[in-house]
Each structure stands twice: as C-alpha cells, then as structure tokens.
Chains A and B, each alone.
Chain A
Amino acid sequence: MTGACVNALIARAEEQAPEAGFGERVAENQRRVFQIAYSVLGNSADAEEVAQEAFLRAYRNFGSLRDAEKFRAWVNRIVFRLALNRQRGYRRRLARDTAWQSSEARTMVDGAKDAEQQIMLDKLRREIERLPQKLRSVLQLSLVEEMDATEVGAVLGIPAGTVRSRVHTARKLLLEVMK
C-alpha cells in the first residue's frame, strides 16, 4: 500500500470520526457566534458561556451539521436563542443594568474621548433595549460583523427586505432619542 493510499485512508477515517472537523468549524464561527451573544447580553463572560453552550449543542448534533453552511446557520440561530433566554433570566433577577455597566465594555473605546464615548455607548445600549422586540433583534443581529440581511433574516425567519426595513426604522428611532 502506498503512502498516498494510507493518507487517504487516514483522512477518510478522520472524516468519519464524530468529532472530525469540529475544531475547524469552531475556529471559523467563534468570532461571529460570540458577537451575536455579546450584542444581546453586552457582557463578554456571559457571551462566552452562551457561545460555548451553542457550540456544545452543535457538537451533539454534529452528525447532521457537517456542511459548513448548515453549521453556520444552525449555530447562529442557537446562539441567538440561548442569549435571549439568558437575557430573560437576567431581567427576572433585575441584574441587567449592572451587567451593562461592566468594566470590560469600557476597554472597547479608547483614546481621549473615552469617557464621553462610553457614556454615549451606555446610552445607546439603553435605547436599543427600549426598542420594540422586533426592531431590537434585527438591529442587534445586523450589528454583528459578517452578518448580512439574508443571514439575519434566516435567524429570525423573516425576508431580507423586512430586515432592511426594520433596521432603517430602528436607526431612525435611535436617531430621534440619541440627543
């Protein structure tokens, strides 16, 4: 048996193993998955936990999610749902406001205008929280890098045109209140 044949056999065996390719999928999707959770939760520790939970669920169903596109769409939906569930839990415990004011978010905006921008960012988050659910979800997902209107629509089960129109409405409402 030649070396090429052996390599091909190993590759095939790896493909058939339950965890084969999972690490690669995590690497491809982790940034976006984290951002989806972070856009909803506004706290990196919670966002990481939720992202990890989403990947573990994906791992359990990895047999049917080997296709990269399928995996991406599935994990997007799951992480968004998990983040929303956790956020509802927060609200019940009335701890949401303190989570938004965590110190790590402050490290995101640097430079001389740090404090002023941080205040504006906090205000912006509060105003986003006040938006109607339909507009808020669309806006939060649209802010995630690598998420176009079609992908946002796939997560929420709405057409891309509706996504664009809701984003516009949400931005208009924010513009009015962000004085």
Chain B
Amino acid sequence: MKDRCETWKEQLAEAALTGTMTEGLDEHLRTCVTCAFALKGLRARKERMDALLPFVAKGPGPGVDFRARVLDAAAATNERKRTQPWRIWRLAGATAIVAVMLMVGVKWYHRTERTVSQNELAALQKLTEWRAPSDALLATPGQEILRTMPRLGESYLNVPVKKDEEE
C-alpha cells in the first residue's frame, strides 16, 4: 500500500467488515488499484475468519450421557444431604457454642475490669512523689557537683566558695 493510501486503511477494514463504504472511499477505489486490491484481500480474509469463528465456541458438544451424569451427580448430592442431616446441626451447634463463649467472655471481661476512683488516683500520685526522710542524710557533699558535667577546660574541683567564708 502506498504511503498516501495509509489514510484509507481504517476505512478499508470497516468496508470489509460491514460491506458499506463512504463516498470518498468509493471514489478513491475507482482510481487506486492498490487499495481496491487491498479491499479484496481484506474481504477474503473476513470470509475466512467468519467461517472459522463459530468453531471457537462450537466444539464437539456435550457427550450423549451428559444429562444423565449431571442428574446422577445431583441425585448423589441430594442423597448426601438426606443421609447427613446432622452435619448442618453440628455446624449450627458449634456456631452457637462459639457465640455463647464469646458473650460470656465479653461479660466476664467487663465485670473484672477495675475502675480507679479519683481518691485512689490522688493517693497514688502522692505515693510516687514521696521521699524517705533518710534521703537527705544519705546525700554526700560531692553529689551536687557530680550532677553537672564539667565543660572542656573545667574540672570537678572548681567548687564555688561562699563569699561569707572568704571574708
């Protein structure tokens, strides 16, 4: 196909698929042998494709005993359901037990959950702030110095001296 015919490509495919064409394409085909030939090829391809497409879904069809097999399987399902009615009850029973246990658990949890009163909270706060009287006695003179880190060039020995004592 020539370069100038590229613009007709889309319309050629449409024409091959639908069998209808625009006036412009019709005129072009009268003068362009290449496009007319391309359209002929596309139509032939479309016919081949249309002949094959039904086979994609058709297949050999279900076997002659297909219906009988389905009915047998259905009957077997039915029979199982009839002979094992306890299965559904067992499932229902297990579900009920789990539900009851969950309810009991939730209730028990709520019952044992303690609520702390304001008075108790205040007492606890006091207890955390309490210091034994012996704490002050146990404190060493150097403790205050050790609490701070000396800077570069300083040492722990730079103990500030009270002015009163100097005088």
Q: Which residues of A approach B to under 8 Å, CB–CB?
A: 18-19, 22-23, 26-27, 30-31, 34-36, 38-39, 42, 44, 47-48, 51-52, 55-56, 59-60, 104-105, 107-109, 117, 120-121, 124-125, 128, 140, 143-145, 168, 171-172, 174-176, 178-179
Contacts and interface: CB of A to CB of B under 8 A. Distances in A.
- Secondary structure of the B contact surface, majority rule: helix
B71 A38 contact: no
B24 interface: no
A96 B73 CA distance: 28
A31 B46 CA distance: 27
Interface in B128-147: none
B56 A30 contact: no
Interface residues of B, number: 31
A56 B46 contact: no
B37 to A, nearest CB: 15
B59 A124 contact: no
B69 A35 contact: no
Interface string B45-85: 11011001111111111110011011101110110000000
Interface of B: 13-14, 16-17, 42, 45-46, 48-49, 52-63, 66-67, 69-71, 73-75, 77-78
A160 B63 CA distance: 32
A17 B56 CA distance: 39
B118 to A, nearest CB: 61
